[in-house]
Amino acid sequence: MIEPEDVAQHIVTMLARGRTESFVPRWYRAFALGQALAPGLVRRAANRPERR
């Protein structure tokens, strides 16, 4: 779980660098890219029932 203090520090750093978009933690960006490149595949994977 990401702590609020970590997110706040990231936002301050991002604003100081003039960036308008960011992901916390950085590896969450992979999900956004996957959604942009293959939305149907991501939707099917998200709706897939959990296997036991």
Model's pTM, two decimal places?
0.55
Average pLDDT over residues 40-50: 81
Find the farthest-apart pair of alpha carbons in the chain and give their distance in angstroms, rounded: 46
**Residue 52: per-residue pLDDT:** 56
Give domain status of residue 22, yes or no: yes
Give domain status of residue 52, yes or no: no
Q: What is the pLDDT of residues 6-33, one digit of tens each?
A: 999 999 999 999 998 888 888 888 888 9
Give domain status of residue 38, yes or no: yes
Percent of the chain residues topping a pLDDT of 90 = 35
Give domain status of residue 8, yes or no: yes
Do the Cβ atoms of 29 and 6 come closer than 8 Å?
A: no
Give domain status of residue 14, yes or no: yes
Q: What is each CA distance from 18 to 4, 5, 9, 10, 39, in whole angstroms?
A: 21, 20, 14, 12, 29
Domain count, the chain: 1
| Domain housing 10 | 4-47
